[in-house]
């Protein structure tokens, strides 16, 4: 089973599983613990009732430490597995996995907000977001897709089928600060069939003045006002 004590000594696997280095994880952990204690006070049970026994008494859970809880939610966010498969990695049933995901995701979001690391979700505020203003406004835009369960409705199946991925997917538009490598903006979730440029047009992102924007061919024709866009050109010597 996955747990922090064994994975922390395997830096490559740790990065692959969580998307963070061990140093980045340890920087996030205190904020995660503080957010957890604020949302779920130690003197109360997880259901909000006053404790009848001291903390730590009774049966030990599968996620005993704050580090294990943070690892659990980060691995899910990074790999996006089925809940049953995620539970198998941590020795939990699907029902327990579902409970802990809903229990821990708000804590992670609060910890990221406390560290000023939470991406902007309002496209109209991207230009003034602290993650944008950390450096000169050099940004990169891309569309990210992740697999999802096949919808049962035929129309939704068609909307979510991505010819690029040959699977049913959900898509988000993301903006990256090229100097810091941090995600500045995370767009709303849309069906995977939607074209990157169309999704970006619908978001109506507000860019900083004189920003530069790197994009790929999926954003051909996307030219926001006041932004200098850059798109790599295909090598004419490359094989078709």
Same domain, 79 and 129: no
In this prediction, residue 59 has a pLDDT band, given cuts at 50, 70 and 90, of: low
Digit-coded pLDDT (tens) for 172-220: 999 999 999 889 999 999 999 999 999 999 999 999 999 999 999 999 9
pTM of the model: 0.76
In a domain, 70, yes or no: yes
Q: Token pair of 105, please?
A: 């995701």
Same domain, 88 and 154: no
Same domain, 132 and 216: yes
In a domain, 15, yes or no: yes
- Stretch 59-81: mean pLDDT, rounded? 90
Same domain, 15 and 93: yes
Rg (CA), the chain: 21
Is residue 75's pLDDT more than 60?
A: yes
Is residue 238's pLDDT more than 70?
A: no
Same domain, 105 and 15: yes
Q: Residue 236's pLDDT is what?
A: 65
Of 114, 135, 165, which closes a domain? 114
Q: What are phi and psi of 233, to 5 degrees?
A: -100, 145
Split into its structural domains, the chain has a count of 2
In this prediction, residue 52 has a pLDDT band, given cuts at 50, 70 and 90, of: low
Query: 144 is in which domain, residue-wise?
Result: 123-230
Digit-coded pLDDT (tens) for 135-151: 889 999 999 998 888 88
β-strand pairing of 167-177 with 183-186: antiparallel
User: Which residues fall within 8 angstroms of residue 191, CB to CB, at 6 or more apart?
Assistant: 156, 159, 160, 169, 170, 171
Same domain, 134 and 103: no
Is residue 240's pLDDT more than 60?
A: no
In a domain, 236, yes or no: no
Query: Residue 87: which H helix or E strand, with range?
Result: helix 83-90
């Amino acid at each position: 089973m996955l747990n922090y004590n064994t994975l922390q000594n395997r830096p490559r696997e740790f990065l692959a599983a969580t998307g963070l280095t061990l140093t980045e994880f340890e920087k996030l952990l205190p904020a995660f613990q503080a957010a957890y204690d604020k949302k779920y006070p130690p003197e109360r049970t997880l259901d909000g009732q006053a404790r009848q026994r001291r903390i730590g008494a009774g049966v030990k859970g599968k996620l005993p430490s704050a580090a294990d809880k943070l690892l659990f939610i980060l691995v899910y966010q990074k790999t996006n597995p089925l809940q049953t498969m995620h539970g198998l990695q941590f020795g939990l049933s699907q029902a327990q996995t579902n409970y802990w995901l809903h229990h821990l995701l708000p804590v992670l979001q609060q910890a990221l907000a406390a560290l000023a690391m939470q991406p902007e979700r309002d496209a109209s505020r991207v230009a003034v977001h602290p993650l944008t203003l950390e450096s000169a406004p050099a940004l990169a835009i891309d569309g990210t897709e992740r697999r999802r369960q096949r919808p049962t409705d035929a129309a939704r199946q068609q909307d979510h089928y991505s010819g690029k991925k040959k699977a049913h997917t959900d898509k988000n538009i993301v903006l990256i600060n090229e100097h810091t490598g941090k995600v500045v903006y995370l767009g709303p979730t849309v069906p995977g069939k939607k074209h990157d440029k169309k999704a970006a047009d619908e978001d109506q992102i507000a860019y900083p003045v004189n920003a530069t924007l790197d994009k790929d061919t999926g954003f051909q024709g996307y030219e926001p006002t006041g932004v200098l866009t850059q798109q790599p050109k295909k090598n004419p010597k490359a094989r078709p």
